[in-house]
Amino acid sequence: MEQKNAMTLIRQPDRMTIGFELPLDNDWSPAGEARRAADGRRFGVPDLGAMGDLVRKADALGFAAVWARDVPVFDTVNFGDAGSVHDVFTLLGYLAAITRRIALGTAAVVLPLRHPLMVAKAAASADVLSGGRLILGVASGDRPVEYPLLGLDFEARGQDFRTAVDYLRAAWEPGGLPVDGQRVPTLDLLPRPLQHEIPMVVAGQAQQSNEWLASRMDGRFTYPMGAARTAQVAETWAEATAGRGAILSAFFLDLLADVNAPMEPIRLGARGGRNAIIAHFQALAAASVDHVAVNLRQSGRPVAEVMDELAAEIMPLLVKHG
């Protein structure tokens, strides 16, 4: 039987793939902001009413992945973004039940905030329930307010991240769970992941060296930084991983109805018409970016309408080499 590997859902040899960062609303557009105020929701708390239907639509249209963020605490002062509100692993179970093909990713689980045994079990459960479609995005965390709430040391997060990654890899292997550095064959993790090894991608640097990340990660998320700079990062990552590691990029998109509207930068992305966005995404594909996780929170158009245009008019044109 062919071994499942969810990375093949987002990393194609001949084209760049597109996915979506949840919650799939456009609350940060002027119209979305007006709806939020009318609903009485605080800024940063998304409208989740259509999320399930929109994820099903993304699955049906052939998009490669949906990405859920890990936001344990809604910090209304320093951060102002509640993410997708739900616990990330509970949300993955729901998404597994309502989809059939699309990869389910986390962007990203903050490993130092969770005991690695519980992460290993939750991730394995999501992998089995989704039929082997989980991609575990991981990070060390960048919000100091979360750590004291759990009695944890923010400054120790780099070492805690390394410990957690190595524990996860060991826990998913048969032969017993690691205890104090030794395997205990009478202790086992159930369920066993459907994938032989759940792929992990890192968001940011996670307080680690490039060499350490390259030896343990299947891919890395980059922030939008222009095609030329992205190409340099992709080349360095390819060299470090001998071509094994994928490059993923987050991208805030406001796709305008005027197909010829020029592209202008917005925070962590761009606003523009179809032709300009195609040209930019093609440049990213040429720079060896494997996957772009589109965030539509600033979209002035309805999310479903933008999804249709991306699927029909943009996604087929993102050839990597040619």
Domain boundaries, the chain: 7-317
Contacts (Cβ under 8 Å, ≥6 apart) of 157? 112, 140, 141, 147, 207
Q: With bands split at pLDDT 50, 70 and 90, how would you rate the model's confidence at 321? A: low
What digits encode the pLDDT tens for the residues 260-298?
A: 999 999 999 999 999 999 999 999 999 999 999 999 999
Q: What is the pTM of this model?
A: 0.96
- Taking the C-alpha atoms of residue 261 and residue 277, their distance in angstroms, rounded to an integer, is 9
pLDDT of residue 322: 45
What digits encode the pLDDT tens for the residues 232-250?
A: 999 999 999 999 999 999 9
Q: Considering the domain 7-317, what is its CATH architecture?
A: Alpha-Beta Barrel (3.20)
- Mean pLDDT over all residues of the chain? 95
Q: Does residue 1 register a pLDDT over 80?
A: no
Contact 141/112 with Cβ under 8 angstroms? yes
pLDDT of residue 3: 64
Q: Does residue 2 register a pLDDT over 90?
A: no
Q: Does residue 317 register a pLDDT over 50?
A: yes
